[in-house]
Amino acid sequence: MLVTFTGVGEAFDERIPNCSILLEANGANGPVTALLDCGFTAAHAFWRTARAPLDLDCLWISHFHGDHFFGVPLLYLRFWEEDRTRPLTVIGGPGVEAALTQAMDAAYPRFRERMRFPVHYIEAEPGRPFTACGLNWNTAFGGHGQPCLAVRVDDGERAVFYSGDGRPTPETLALATGCDLVAQEAFSLELDTEGHGTIPGAIDFARKAEAKRLAIVHVNRRVRHGRTDEIRALLATATDINACMPEAGDSLRLG
């Protein structure tokens, strides 16, 4: 499985695209690509990063904050402009179809009915595994201000956990256990921010989950750009889980 961090930033980071992760895997029915979250600035980053953007099979939306799903109308419109016809599967929590339909109609009125590619929506229920696009999916609620689903994606050989926003919970810990990669939101270095995690907390979470790798994402822009050396020094101490703070565009091959 190839994991590419198309974006790693938080909502207000003017230098780095919103957090968004592209997975390229061998699914049950052959090669499959899935994009995890698509916020304000993530759609452009996806088009810069993806090797075959028109071949995207699946889109995951963790929750309905703009920096995680407001890029979807632009993604849809670009697919329309590029004459996409292949179906797209979109997965998210309850209300995902209504939320994206409303966003598309607000951003580009009357374009939705002109799209030449079908969109199939799946509502995920926490703790109920399912298969879509040849991949295995399972979800759990993290600790965030709005309902936010962390997700575990498994291609039969490798598993990736992505937190979306929010601090770890017992449910997300169970979901992440044994994953090859944990991509955990870590908003601050030491301050306890309501609805968000910390970098030390992410390290502890990945260690308890016995994950092979940890990637911290969605770090507060002031912390990320002003205290980079401190962050990297802290991550360097977590040699047992191979921790990193990826840059936008970085890739990891699992296995």
| pLDDT digits 0-9 by tens, 60-87 | 999 999 999 999 999 999 999 999 999 9
CATH topology of domain 2-239: Metallo-beta-lactamase; Chain A (3.60.15)
Could you tell me the two tokens for 43? Answer: 């759609």
Mean predicted confidence (pLDDT) in 201-211: 97
Contact status, residue 27 vs residue 33, Cβ threshold 8 Å: no
Question: What is the mean pLDDT of the segment spanning 41-69?
Answer: 97
Cα–Cα distances (Å) from 49 to 30, 144, 178, 197, 208, in that order, read 21, 28, 28, 27, 32
User: Region 113-135: what's the mean pLDDT?
Assistant: 96
Which pLDDT score, from 0 to 100, does residue 45 have?
97
3-state secondary structure of 147: coil
pLDDT of residue 191: 74
- Distance, in Å, from the CA atom of 245 to the CA atom of 218, rounded to the nearest integer, reads 10
Tens-place pLDDT, residues 79-112: 999 999 999 999 999 999 999 999 999 999 999 9
Which of these, 57, 36, 53, 22, lies nearest to 132 by C-alpha position? 57
Please state the φ and ψ torsions of residue 53, each to the nearest 5 degrees. Answer: -60, -30
Could you give the percent of the chain with pLDDT greater than 90? 95
Dihedral (Cα; 83, 89, 95, 97), 10-degree rounding: 30
Indicate the pTM of the whole model. 0.97
